């Protein structure tokens, strides 16, 4: 099966293709970067992390935030299972102003073979 690369760019008359792993990465990144209600045809799509004040990321119950992210991924990225979410501190700089990233691990099947998924996504 072929998957489309994001962002959608036409090169030489064709859309770029992506591997299954990359397609899952794009999908999870899109879920994490989408505010709830951003899609008019599916108001539940997205992640409610954007409903919190950024200062809440440091004071809120981290288990609740991780669970909320995991539920969104479970609901909208069905190719990924046994999902685990970790909030990771990163060096603060102009690129990572919040100093928080989300590490997502899980499993997926590619041509019948179980494979590990692990990516870190910067928030903010």
* CATH code, domain carrying 17: 3.10.450.40
pTM score, whole prediction: 0.81
Q: What angle do CA 114, 102, 93 make, to 5 degrees?
A: 135
Give pLDDT tens digits for 49-63. 777 655 555 666 778
Q: How confident is the model at residue 40 (pLDDT cuts 50, 70, 90)?
A: confident
Domain count, the chain: 1
Q: How confident is the model at residue 104 (pLDDT cuts 50, 70, 90)?
A: very high
Give pLDDT tens digits for 52-98. 655 555 666 778 888 989 999 999 999 999 999 998 876 555 555 55
Q: Where are the alpha helices (DSSP H) in the chain?
A: 20-33, 56-59, 62-76
Tokens of 81: 């299972």
Range of the domain at 20: 3-122
Q: Is 104 helix (H, G, I), strand (E, B) or coil?
A: strand
């Amino acid at each position: 099966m072929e998957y489309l690369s994001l962002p959608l760019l036409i090169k030489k008359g064709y859309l770029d293709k992506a591997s299954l792993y990359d397609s899952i990465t794009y999908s999870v990144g899109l879920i994490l970067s989408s505010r709830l209600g951003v899609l008019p045809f599916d108001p539940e799509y997205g992640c409610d992390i954007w409903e919190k004040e950024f200062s809440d990321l440091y004071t809120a119950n981290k288990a609740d935030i991780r669970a909320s992210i995991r539920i969104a991924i479970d609901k909208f990225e069905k190719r990924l299972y046994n999902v685990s979410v970790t909030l990771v501190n990163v060096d603060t700089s102009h690129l990572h102003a919040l100093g928080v990233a989300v590490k997502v691990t899980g499993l997926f099947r590619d041509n019948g073979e179980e494979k590990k998924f692990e990516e870190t996504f910067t928030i903010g």
